[in-house]
Amino acid sequence: MDLVRLDELETIDPRPLPPWRAEPFTEIEIGSDRESATERARTVRSMSTIVVYSDASGREDHLGAAAVALDNNLEVIESQQVQVGPMDRWSVHVAELIGIFYAVSTVFKISNQRPRTEHKGKTTATILCDSRSALQAIQNPENKSGQRIIHAILQAATEVQAKGIALRLQWIPGHCDNPGNDAADRLAKDAASPGKTHPFRPLLTRTKALIRDNIRAQWGREWKSSTKGGHLRKIDSTLPAAYTRKLYGNLPRGRAYLLTQLRTGHNWLSTFRNAIGFRDDDHCVCGAQETVTHVLVDCPKLQELRRELRMKVGDAFSSISSPLGGSKEGERGKPDTVSRTKTVNAVLDFTEASQRFQSRAP
């Protein structure tokens, strides 16, 4: 294991935050109604001295975040853009959190630029974000991936509150024709480019997912290029998955052994016995080459049994793959397990009645 690369990953503190800590935000408003939330966002200037919008966006497999503040004439008075990083190391949810972190920083910066005498009494600042999940994560911090970013947001908000600023978080629906939200979205899209301009470490969950995907991709390449298992790949083109285990696990041992013979081609039909030197020819009793496909589909000696099988399985008999539990429904294979199991059981009934296979090795 590369310990240097391991040190680059985020660490998660298992300790909960102290329950007696002061709340860094005076309010986190997460409205459930889009219309009322949109209207509340339009009137936010009437109750806040400082208004900052944050957003995150992705482009060409990279993520960006931004925070922007507008004046009463909807002109940008302060903005920050952040290159978050590639999507395989970062998520949109965390990019939204990073945007909020820089929005808190923007509030701090604006408050320092304004004279203390400009506003009498306590200053109120509102950060508007169109990600409910990000606001909920800040409202209920947990010990999971992205924890350090949330803790940094809470710490920064606490420092802002210490300057006498009442800091609020508010949800604004995305794409609601709000000038501030639209400006933050544009800046976030512009920032979505190669590079990383923030101090946070890559996510543990994303790194684990990347490793799993790489392992699965390598497994897939080896599976497809292998000189063995060719018969099984014709039956089931996807990698072995959980549904395959269920397919075998629901069968008695003898029938599971029989299904294995059908799917792998390692059985006691003449073709395989000839290949391993147990027989001089590969002929069926009808004179043709005796293979799994021949027995299930073509052999005239089994015509009556095959008619009964067709009645049971219907359209599943249109290919050799479906009757034997094969899946071509997506890369990972998620077939209808119930109907697939019924089809396989019907095929196994046919196979046992044909007496061409043995339930155990002789």
CB 207, CB 214: distance < 8 Å:
no
CB count within 10 Å of CB 97 equals 28
Does 360 have pLDDT greater than 60?
Answer: no
Q: Domain boundary at 176, 210, 244, which?
A: 210
Does 283 have pLDDT greater than 80?
Answer: yes
Pair (129, 249) in one structural domain: no
Domain residue limits at 332: 228-354
Does 359 have pLDDT greater than 70?
Answer: no
Average pLDDT over residues 228-239: 81
- Crossing angle of helices 92-113/132-139, nearest 10°? 70
Pair (32, 152) in one structural domain: yes
Average pLDDT over residues 264-268: 87
Does 149 have pLDDT greater than 90?
Answer: yes
pLDDT tens for each residue of 64-117: 999 999 888 888 899 999 999 999 889 999 999 999 999 999 999 998 887 654
Pair (201, 344) in one structural domain: no
Tokens of 166: 């009442």
Average pLDDT over residues 155-184: 91
pLDDT tens for each residue of 17-61: 888 888 899 999 987 788 888 888 888 878 888 999 999 999 999
Average pLDDT over residues 152-162: 94
CA distance readout (Å), 224 to 218, 219, 235, 261, 318: 10, 9, 13, 20, 24
Pair (270, 349) in one structural domain: yes
Answer whether 0.75 is exceeded by the pTM.
no
pLDDT tens for each residue of 320-339: 888 888 765 444 445 556 67
CB 282, CB 270: distance < 8 Å:
yes
| Domain harbouring 37, CATH code | 3.30.420.10
Report the range of poorest mean pLDDT among 45-54, 207-216, 223-232. 223-232
Pair (194, 327) in one structural domain: no
CB 284, CB 294: distance < 8 Å:
yes
**Per-residue pLDDT, 117:** 47
Write the CB contacts of 299 (distance below 8 Å, at least 6 apart in sequence).
284, 286, 288, 290
Residue 204 is assigned to a structural domain of this protein: yes
Q: What is the mean pLDDT of the chain?
A: 86
Q: At 53, phi and psi to the nearest 5? A: -110, 140
